[in-house]
Amino acid sequence: MQPFAAPAEGIISLPGSKSQTNRALLCAALSEGTSRLSGVLYAEDTEAMLEAIVSFGAVVEEDRQNFEIEVTGIAGAPVFQELAINARQSGTTSRFLLPTLAAGNGRVTLDGDQELRARPFSEQIDALRDLGCEIEELDKRGGLPVVVSARGVERSEVEIAAATSSQFVSGLLLAAPLYSNGLKINLTSPAISRPYIELTVEVMRDFGVLVEQPDDSTYVVNPGHYRAAEVHIEPDASAASYFFAAAAITHGRVRITGLHSESRQGDIRFVDVLEQLGAKVVWGENYIEVEGDRIRGGTFDLRDFSDTTQTLAALAAFAENDIEITGVGFIRRKETDRIAAMRTELTKCGVEVKESEDGLIVRPNLWSLKGARVDTYNDHRMAMSMALLSLRIPRIEINDHECVNKTFPDFFSRLEELRPKAKSRENTVAVAAIDGPAGSGKSTVARLLATELKLPHFDTGAMYRAVAVAALRAEIDPDDQDATAELAEQTKIAIGDRTFIDEVDATDEIRTPEVDQLVSVVAANPKVRRVLVAQQRKWATELGGGVMEGRDIGTKVFPDAIFKAFLTAQPEVRARRRYGQSSIQTLGDVAEDIERRDQIDSTRSDSPLQVAPGAVVIDTSDLTVEQVVSELANMFRSVVED
């Protein structure tokens, strides 16, 4: 994956909701008459449902190009002799069909891929047995494959726990009108993912069947018939979460058409989470737009929209503070153990993650982010969420990325649509902002990058150093902020290949350990900063841009720089690099010195050293200077046209 060298930008339409497509396909298949569905999702999970409804007699006419489909239903419960249904990896297909098949007549085997076989079915199987259905597990208790010897359902009341999956309840609801006496469902535990049950109720209503809900834990469906309908499927809100997160992560702006505040999908609430974290959200009549701003941190209960857990965990890698996700213990039994998988893969990328009983805590440290080869566990949401890290971290590789086919075959090309286009250099100050701590390789890299791009190079650190030298010479107490600032104003500093103080070459003098000691104090002086930042802006503007390195270039001096990178390296590597440059200090001293300066630079109140919003983070620990330079040059060129 290649990082985005500038903020994500775009308006996109997304494929239809998987959840709504599979519910509508089943209702249409059981209806009398021909239904027309538009905005349909064509992906593995919906293929599984399509194949199944065709196998028991529904007639479908697909128009894949236009995302439409016509389904002529079988007008009631399915009747068959001997049937085998393969739900592949699809939880919805299998859990929606099992109670429906039980309402029919004949013998049917229901099976799926290995991942689906590993997922839980026992609550639903037990409920169906309580209703008098004959179900035989062929492999292990409570799992697929199963054989159902169907001969209709007469009993009309059942209890079920919905703490593992709301799909158990949705499946029973969808089948309920086919049961001779209807069905009353009593929930024995509060349902997770409740919005999905509400979606089921709404889709059933689209097809003419009403569900009563006398209280929070009871659903009642009378025996009845589905009627064919024309239904437009909403864009998939879970899929949308990745694109909204991309806007937040890259400090960009993304609009998704076809979604709105009245959406039936619970996962739309992910947008509220982004807003609480600091993003700006516009709720249009027929679109939602997210503009990235801050990513603060906080605790979020995702019980009702748990499919966005991985999206939020990936986003959290770039947050200012910890992000804790609660209420989602049950996602350990989805396509994979999503909590453990996220911890393992984020850890590879330098993100600290702690698992908790019902979720996880991400402790972001942007200085330690690094590229890695990421595993996806045959879980589409692992691939899509980990791809978000690649927007700002080079060298993220995703293994077996085709697993996105389950719900979103086009995912990667859609993400590409958001990649920023190159802008003309005219009328912009084309600054490449290179920030990072001591020993990150920033200075060497910035100098060579400027040469490579044939642009001016501005070493702003040399300016702070020059002021420190001037203060030493003038014997000014660096704690006297006004005196130091006045000195900064009066001293004539010139930076370039060499550094001049009042027109005298001071290139070597600005790098003595004495200056190293003093410069952090000088740089923490807001009045000195005001003077030097004004000069930096002026020079860069006069020269039409350039490569500017420092600590606050992306955050303060040029927050709208056309390209922003933050170079970092593991602390030991940084110490070793600096040690190589000094003949006086021991490695331990250098390490201590670096740590002390990091501490002062990153915690000072004025312009602390931080990763700028949207900046690409490059860990240079294992890279050569040439590699870093060529990577940065490519990124810069991708967003700046000559």
Q: Are 423 and 640 in contact (CB under 8 A)?
A: yes
Determine phi and psi for 100, rounding to 5 degrees.
Answer: -70, -45
Only one of the segments 167-175, 191-199, 347-355, 547-555 lies at the binding site for ligand DC (rule: CB under 6 A); that segment is 547-555
Rank residues 66 and 602 by Cβ distance to ligand DC and give the closer one: 602
Q: If binding means CB under 6 A, how many residues of this protein chain bind ligand DC?
A: 13
- Does position 271 interact with ligand DC (CB under 6 A)? The reply is no
Binding residues for ligand DC restricted to 411-440, rule: CB under 6 A: 438
CA 103-108-114 angle, to 5 degrees, is 115
d(CA 120, CA 129): 16
- Please name which of 36, 14, 32 lies closest in space to residue 24, comparing C-alpha atoms: 36
Query: In 491-562, which ranges are E strands?
Result: 493-494, 500-501, 504-505, 545-550
d(CA 340, CA 332): 8
Cα separations in angstroms, 290 against 284, 313, 562? 11, 18, 20
d(CA 328, CA 308): 10
- State whether residue 318 is helix, strand or coil: coil
| Amino acid at residue number 368 | S
Only one of the segments 67-75, 149-157, 226-234, 460-468 lies at the binding site for ligand DC (rule: CB under 6 A); that segment is 460-468
- Please name which of 168, 212, 161 lies closest in space to residue 187, comparing C-alpha atoms: 161
Locus of tokens 């600290």: 352
Taking residue 80's Cβ as centre, other Cβ atoms within 10 Å add up to 16
Of the candidates 113, 307, 516, 619, the residue annotated as catalytic is 307
- Does position 458 interact with ligand DC (CB under 6 A)? The reply is no
Rank residues 247 and 501 by Cβ distance to ligand DC and give the closer one: 501
- Does position 638 interact with ligand DC (CB under 6 A)? The reply is no
Binding residues for ligand DC restricted to 292-321, rule: CB under 6 A: none
- Does position 620 interact with ligand DC (CB under 6 A)? The reply is no
Parallel, antiparallel, or unpaired for β 9-12 and 253-257? parallel
Question: Which of 73, 461, 478, 614 touches ligand DC by CB under 6 A?
Answer: 461
554 burial (CB, 10 Å; 0-12 / 13-18 / 19+) is buried
Least distance (Å) from ligand DC to the CB of residue 589? 16
DSSP assignment string, 52-99: HHHHTT-EEEEEGGGTEEEEE--SSS-EEEEEEEE-TT-HHHHHHHHH
Least distance (Å) from ligand DC to the CB of residue 465? 5
Only one of the segments 352-360, 390-398, 479-487, 544-552 lies at the binding site for ligand DC (rule: CB under 6 A); that segment is 544-552
Least distance (Å) from ligand DC to the CB of residue 563? 17
Binding residues for ligand DC restricted to 464-483, rule: CB under 6 A: 464-465
| Amino acid at residue number 71 | V
Least distance (Å) from ligand DC to the CB of residue 510? 8
Binding residues for ligand DC restricted to 550-589, rule: CB under 6 A: 550-552
Parallel, antiparallel, or unpaired for β 157-161 and 146-151? unpaired
Rank residues 204 and 462 by Cβ distance to ligand DC and give the closer one: 462
- Does position 593 interact with ligand DC (CB under 6 A)? The reply is no
- Does position 519 interact with ligand DC (CB under 6 A)? The reply is yes
170 burial (CB, 10 Å; 0-12 / 13-18 / 19+) is buried
d(CA 628, CA 367): 16
Question: Which of 92, 308, 520, 620 touches ligand DC by CB under 6 A?
Answer: 520
Least distance (Å) from ligand DC to the CB of residue 250? 23
Only one of the segments 396-404, 479-487, 490-498, 548-556 lies at the binding site for ligand DC (rule: CB under 6 A); that segment is 548-556
Least distance (Å) from ligand DC to the CB of residue 425? 23
Sorted by sequence, the CB contacts under 8 Å of residue 275 that are 6+ apart come out as: 281
Q: What order do you get walking across the sheet with 323-326 strand by strand? A: 298-301, 323-326, 359-363, 352-356
- Please name which of 520, 641, 512 lies closest in space to residue 585, comparing C-alpha atoms: 512
Only one of the segments 288-296, 374-382, 475-483, 518-526 lies at the binding site for ligand DC (rule: CB under 6 A); that segment is 518-526
Rank residues 460 and 638 by Cβ distance to ligand DC and give the closer one: 460
Least distance (Å) from ligand DC to the CB of residue 321? 23
d(CA 379, CA 365): 26
Least distance (Å) from ligand DC to the CB of residue 294? 22
Only one of the segments 11-19, 58-66, 212-220, 515-523 lies at the binding site for ligand DC (rule: CB under 6 A); that segment is 515-523
Least distance (Å) from ligand DC to the CB of residue 505? 17
Rank residues 165 and 460 by Cβ distance to ligand DC and give the closer one: 460
Only one of the segments 317-325, 411-419, 459-467, 623-631 lies at the binding site for ligand DC (rule: CB under 6 A); that segment is 459-467
Least distance (Å) from ligand DC to the CB of residue 537? 12
Q: Are 60 and 99 in contact (CB under 8 A)?
A: no
Q: Catalytic residue at 307?
A: yes
- State whether residue 409 is helix, strand or coil: coil
Binding residues for ligand DC (CB under 6 A): 438, 460-461, 464-465, 519-520, 523, 550-552, 597, 601
List residues with catalytic annotation. Answer: 307
